[in-house]
Structure 1
Amino acid sequence: MDAGGFRTQCDEVNYYDTSDRVCLNSSATSELLPIAAMSDELLSSWQKLARNAAEPNVFYEHWALNPALEHFDTEPQLSLFLYWAGLPNKSDLLGLLPIGPFRQFGSWPVPFVQNWTHHNSFLGTPLVRKGFENQFWTVLFEQLDATSWRGFLHIRGMTVGGPLDQALRSVCVRQKRRCDLVHSEARALLESNLDADAYYAETVRSKKRKEIRRQAKRLGEMGEVTYSHVNGATGLDAWIDEFLQLERRSWKGQEGSALDCSDDTRPFFCEALTGAACSGQLERHDLRLDGKPLAMLVNFHSAPGSFSFKTAFDDDYARFSPGVLLQLENLKILGQPDIYWMDSCAAEGHPMIDSLWSGRRHIGRFSIELKGLSRTAVFRGVRLGEGLMAHIKKREIIDISQVKL
């Protein structure tokens, strides 16, 4: 596939760090770089992009995406879409998205193009330089329209209502390109101007706070209870081993979904945490009873946001709610001046975190029409089929005559 390029005028954007200003003063270019062709030459540009992204997404940063691509199955034609201010690797990187063709859309044998995620990736929002959101989508569509990839574009796991969503809809309207939000869910978000104590008092009802105090007191009667909070790589290898063992002893281990149950997820977890620590983006919490871990928590920071990636707790102590007690310690993130919000990365309606965090973040899947008669036919056929299935399953009441073709 040939890399597409276009010429544009200079756009100058104000950033928090003036050394990270960028100007399109030459021909901007885009490319679909095969995963096998990735090299360390991309690293510094990738890091700079992540620092200045319109929306943080740690799962597409190099230290999280590289081990995922190495250890998890990928489609043969999976590529990195890269949008450059000028020549590749000779200019600023303005956008990045792992993307490729797929042959099966859910249960339907329908070809389509999609951003790549995996079971331990909880966000699919592209990494795009702040101020270049519209240009990113324009160039991506231009690139995909020119490929031989069949079907429509599907973006999964993108923040609804954020800068990338707004730019996507704007570009599609301008290009008369159909774009549908086909699914969304709300997951817990921690965001407030209050400090940890005030937020806890305002968010959690008094009866539940009383019960949590009782559980903490009873746990304290069993031995010495300690909390630790560590940034960086100090003692990381031993801590990772403890986390994996704790999670495997839990219900996740019994169901086979614990990270340590798979030869793919285990090394991914170890390498992602090590990479995050080296990048200064790892935060670890744990709660211990006489030195024994009862609950452990992994956060990934990417200012101004943070992501609560993984948590594990000892089921034998479930009556003391060690996971809840540790999450109360995690509320102290509200006091960090560079972090404005934390994404729970939890499923919608999660009973524990939803009771502690009052904010909600909407994450959605978008289907976008690509140019070409056959692509349009596939897109509209799938959308009609989804509308009919929704009606049949009574997920919503629709008038079939109003389904757009």
Structure 2
Amino acid sequence: MLSEPVIILGEPPQAGLARPAGRSGHVSTAPAMSVEIATPERFFTIEREWRDLTGRALAGNAFMEPSLVAAAAHADGVRVHVLLAWASLRPGEPIRLAGAWAFACRHPSSDIPVQVLKTPVHGHAGLGIPVLDAGLAAAVLAQMLDAVAEEPDLPKLIEINGFDGEGPVASLLMDELARRGSRHVELERRCRPQLVKGVAEAAPLSASRERALRQKRRRLARSGQLSCTVHCTQDEVHAALDEFLALEVAGWKGKAIERGHAIRRELALEAFFGPALDGLAAHGLVRITALRSDGRPVAMQVTIRSGATAFTWKSTYDEARRDCGPGLLLLQDVTAALLADPAIGAVDSCNHRDDGYMAEFWSGRKPVLDMVLDVRRGRTLGFSLLSSSEFARQWLKAEARRVHKALRVATGRVSSAIRSLKRGEAGSGQTQVAPPGAAQSRDQTSGRLPR
């Protein structure tokens, strides 16, 4: 089992990188590169190099941030390996970090008894792409896959969840897998809302929708003084996170039901989110926005960032104020603030699907998918077993969603029919009382004398 950083495919970073000689004996002009298989603790110590990489990245991914990776490893007690690619562009130049990709050794989502490298490293993380130097991305990705293939103590099967299906990293990975002859299977394809400045920003709302939102804001304001607060420092984030967890557990997620997934209900989740956000806050990479009524939060949003990409990670609201739509109102405020921030170029909603209020408020869509791959060349028994089990799991999930939707529709129709029946029974059971003189009037009209 790997416990210390391992350098493969090159010289150790501390000693510099040797340039391989070409066939003619001349020094190659290709960048010298090596891949280090590091621990989360080692990754945490190269903050300066990592921060420099995020400024050169082909695509940003806050879920590869060192503090988040370390928090996941500590909270879950799983082995986490971080592939760190080091490169020197020209002879005599210092090496620099050219890529980072973190994996957790776990059972696959289908839970068959094999070990895979799973990314992102935590179930509540939303994006599994590596962070690659834009100028060296293809070479770095190839070296990373070689590193996994050649290290005997690492699993050779990789499961990637929340993979950016049409981003620049996706095309590089598909090209590299084809070049290697490595097998891969794409699983669930879906879209989720996103913002891209200048391309896909806030979606236009109808006049009636705008009017309804203004009415909700006025209704909420009648119950207390409204304010919107933003919490960014470590102390502020710590206090705001405590408010967030209390608000979340008070709602449906905190109830003792199967679907309840409030963070505070699970010690491992709280042990992950606290340190992860604390570490991000130390570098100004998290903001918690709260919509407050007389100082008390009625809706809260956690947003994290890496490079120029922000991720709206978690949100919650006071369900007792549901009729005022506090979550909707906060989403309006957060969207406007993100689009006005010059440091942010794109925002990922982190939604699993293209639904919910973000799908209404944000015009952009990010295609994402889950996939499994084998870093080895050709077909292997292990990959055949993994891909078959994952296909079966995806089919069962799709069928469960279909049946659940059908049951909801049927339940709604039955409930509507019962309500109509009750209204009919109530109407037929009422006694019709004739006003005074009505009988006499009828008899006179018919020409008969009253008895």
Bin the TM-score by the shorter chain: 0.7 to 0.9
SS in structure 2 at match of 1:188: strand
Q: Which residue is equivalent to 1:19?
A: none
Q: Is the 8 A contact 1:47 1:61 kept in 2?
A: no
Q: Which residue is equivalent to 1:84?
A: 86
Q: Quote how far apart the aligned CAs of 1:391 are.
A: 7.6
Q: Is the 8 A contact 2:187 2:394 kept in 1?
A: no
2:290 to 269, 286, 289: 286
Q: Which residue is equivalent to 2:278?
A: 274
TM-score by length of 2: 0.74
Q: Which residue is equivalent to 1:167?
A: 172
1:177–1:194 distance in 2 versus 1, CA, 3 Å? closer
2:211 is equivalent to residue 210 of structure 1? yes
Q: Which residue is equivalent to 1:236?
A: 237
SS in structure 2 at match of 1:264: helix
User: In the aligned structure 2, how far is the partner of 1:345 from the partner of 1:360?
Assistant: 11
| Structure 1 segment 177-256 matched on structure 2, within 5 A | 177-193=182-198, 199-200=202-203, 202=204, 204-233=205-234, 235-255=236-256, 256=260
User: In the aligned structure 2, how far is the partner of 1:187 from the partner of 1:223?
Assistant: 34
Q: Is the 8 A contact 1:47 1:62 kept in 2?
A: no
1:132–1:8 distance in 2 versus 1, CA, 3 Å? farther
Q: Quote how far apart the aligned CAs of 1:103 are.
A: 4.5
- Give 1:84's aligned amino acid: W
Q: Is the 8 A contact 2:43 2:66 kept in 1?
A: no
Q: Is the 8 A contact 2:84 2:97 kept in 1?
A: yes
- Give 2:219's aligned amino acid: R
Q: Quote how far apart the aligned CAs of 1:146 are.
A: 1.5
Q: CA-to-partner distance for each residue in 1:124-159, whole Å, 9 max, x for gaps?
A: 111212222211221122112213345533322221
Q: Which residue is equivalent to 1:96?
A: 100
Q: Is the 8 A contact 2:37 2:84 kept in 1?
A: yes
Q: Which residue is equivalent to 2:48?
A: 44
Who wins on radius of gyration, i.e. which is larger? 2
SS in structure 1 at match of 2:380: helix
TM-score by length of 1: 0.81
Q: Quote how far apart the aligned CAs of 1:351 are.
A: 2.0
Q: Percent identity?
A: 22
2:407 is equivalent to residue 369 of structure 1? no
Q: Quote how far apart the aligned CAs of 1:335 are.
A: 1.8
User: In the aligned structure 2, how far is the partner of 1:394 from the partner of 1:235?
Assistant: 41
- Give 1:108's aligned amino acid: I
1:301 to 284, 299, 305: 305
Q: Quote how far apart the aligned CAs of 1:229 are.
A: 3.0
1:146 to 139, 146, 150: 150
User: In the aligned structure 2, how far is the partner of 1:68 from the partner of 1:223?
Assistant: 39
1:355 to 354, 357, 360: 360
User: In the aligned structure 1, how far is the partner of 2:138 from the partner of 2:189?
Assistant: 22
User: In the aligned structure 2, how far is the partner of 1:231 from the partner of 1:130?
Assistant: 29
1:51–1:65 distance in 2 versus 1, CA, 3 Å? farther
Q: Is the 8 A contact 1:151 1:376 kept in 2?
A: no
Q: Quote how far apart the aligned CAs of 1:121 are.
A: 0.9
Q: Quote how far apart the aligned CAs of 1:40 are.
A: 5.1
Q: Over aligned residues, Cα RMSD in angstroms?
A: 3.0
SS in structure 1 at match of 2:299: strand
1:313–1:9 distance in 2 versus 1, CA, 3 Å? farther
SS in structure 1 at match of 2:125: coil
Aligned length: 371
- Give 1:82's aligned amino acid: L
Q: Quote how far apart the aligned CAs of 1:327 are.
A: 0.5
Q: Which residue is equivalent to 1:157?
A: 162
Q: CA-to-partner distance for each residue in 1:158-216, whole Å, 9 max, x for gaps?
A: 211112111111112222333332222211112343898xx45x2x2333222212111
Q: Is the 8 A contact 2:182 2:377 kept in 1?
A: no
2:135 is equivalent to residue 128 of structure 1? no
More moved, 312-321 vs 138-147: 138-147
1:33–1:182 distance in 2 versus 1, CA, 3 Å? same
2:260 is equivalent to residue 259 of structure 1? no
Q: Quote how far apart the aligned CAs of 1:358 are.
A: 2.1
SS in structure 2 at match of 1:371: strand
Q: Is the 8 A contact 2:248 2:316 kept in 1?
A: yes
Q: Is the 8 A contact 1:152 1:367 kept in 2?
A: yes
More moved, 116-125 vs 158-167: 116-125
2:65 to 53, 57, 61: 61
Q: Is the 8 A contact 1:324 1:352 kept in 2?
A: yes
Q: CA-to-partner distance for each residue in 1:251-277, whole Å, 9 max, x for gaps?
A: 111145222222222243222222222
User: In the aligned structure 2, how far is the partner of 1:114 from the partner of 1:235?
Assistant: 33
Q: Quote how far apart the aligned CAs of 1:72 are.
A: 1.9
More moved, 187-196 vs 213-222: 187-196
Q: Quote how far apart the aligned CAs of 1:91 are.
A: 2.9
More moved, 291-300 vs 183-192: 183-192
Q: Is the 8 A contact 1:133 1:163 kept in 2?
A: no
More moved, 140-149 vs 285-294: 140-149
Structure 2 residue ranges without an equivalent (≥5): 11-17, 22-28, 89-93, 400-451
Structure 1 residue ranges without an equivalent (≥5): 11-23, 396-405
SS in structure 1 at match of 2:135: coil
- Give 2:207's aligned amino acid: S
Q: Which residue is equivalent to 1:335?
A: 340
Q: Which residue is equivalent to 1:4?
A: 8
SS in structure 1 at match of 2:192: strand
1:51–1:240 distance in 2 versus 1, CA, 3 Å? same
SS in structure 1 at match of 2:279: helix
Q: Is the 8 A contact 1:31 1:82 kept in 2?
A: yes
More moved, 355-364 vs 266-275: 266-275
User: In the aligned structure 2, how far is the partner of 1:154 from the partner of 1:195?
Assistant: 30
